[in-house]
Structure 1
């Protein structure tokens, strides 16, 4: 963390709903100022800001399409302006690369368009957005990339998605090594199955699938967004800075 006595500030991509929303709210509960990004859900993002401000916190919402690298320069300028205008800061303390999309298709049926969309959001977006924001991240700050339990265990229909997340996990190691001189720690969080609208809400809405996953999870249920939001707040807490270059799975013990 920065040595400044000011409250830290986090940027959470895809923070308007689902896991990102829970991350933002949990961070705010710990006194962290939060910038959330959204692609199409401006009203949802505004509601997250409203909830944080109702608790006495500070927040802002910015539009971002993580698949469009051409917009990253303008987005970085918007972040810089939000830091100065809303938080009285010049730098971010935390970056959470959470925004993502899901594709469910067998290996044999995955199209090149689906594959390219996953690359653009999960790998290319994470790589170049972080690169663009590096000048705005404080020395001693943290970066947390979001992966998936699917990089450890297989589940038919998620091969392309899991491959992108596997690449993000390798990238995390390199980021941790190369940003070490700036004392920036970089880790990757791998959630298990969570009840959200992600990927069409299959885990949440398909009772048979939900029951099957719960039966294969040591804690006996499918995860909830707050399970992940709490872990993110923990990993970005002051006592966790020495954790670096690590993959942390938060799955309740799936497929042990």
Structure 2
């Protein structure tokens, strides 16, 4: 009989987060996913997960609001007990986020603070609270971005936050090693379809032109590597950044 595994996936109702949730479910992992505002989309994702034979629940969460985390984990703990008959999660995937395209001269303090609250402060303190629910030997996968390696005009604030996530992940790996918990980064490039980034034919053409594989990415290109990092085959992968761009700007 397979051992039950449970993943918490933030922003798991659409885009990359949805693909991660489904790819994990296909491997028999049960899912707690969060959504920001689109409950209908979350319910559709829950139905798709159920079709794989795995169980799932969706809980509303604004990852920028650290004051809401205590109540969120009370709700998540209730779901663990009542839906899954468990008291721990095995995998934490910090995926929720938004994008921002704004030149340095035009970026406002409010825009900067929003990026910081979502992509650094939210991830840092959600992870901190999740650690009491994460089983020893568990996995943390943080979603970063190719923009923390390669610079593009207009994404300085967003890219800075993702660079911080790369650093944070290394420290998680170091400090949690005694518990057998690994922490790694998956850093996609431009991913089109269901995400928050700007999507036009011109942008798609440009991205394809600077990508070695000659096309743009869709969410389906990303989730499988996250599922791999949650598998037994990735036991010795720790503190690493895996970039997934199809060979962008090599």
What TM-score range do you get, normalising by the shorter chain? over 0.9
Of the three residues 216, 233, 236, the one matched with 1:239 is: 233
Of the three residues 127, 143, 146, the one matched with 2:143 is: 146
The one-character-per-residue Cα deviations of 1:76-134 (angstroms, maximum 9, x if unpaired) are 11111111111111110000000001111001111000000000000000000000111
Equivalence for 1:178: 175
Other structure's SS at 2:193 match? coil
Equivalence for 1:118: 115
Equivalent residues, number: 250
Equivalence for 1:214: 208
* RMSD (Å) for aligned C-alpha atoms: 1.2
CA positional deviation for 1:55 = 2.4
Other structure's SS at 1:198 match? coil
TM-score (norm. length: structure 2) = 0.97
Alpha-carbon distance in 2 for matches of 1:239, 1:55: 22
The one-character-per-residue Cα deviations of 1:23-75 (angstroms, maximum 9, x if unpaired) are 10111011110111001011111111111112221111011110111110111
Other structure's SS at 2:132 match? helix
Equivalence for 1:8: 5
CA positional deviation for 1:6 = 2.5
Match status 1:94 vs 2:91: yes
Check whether the contact 2:28–2:53 (CA below 8 A) recurs between aligned residues: no
Equivalence for 1:137: 134
Of the three residues 68, 85, 91, the one matched with 2:82 is: 85
Unaligned runs of 5+ in 1: none
Other structure's SS at 1:94 match? strand
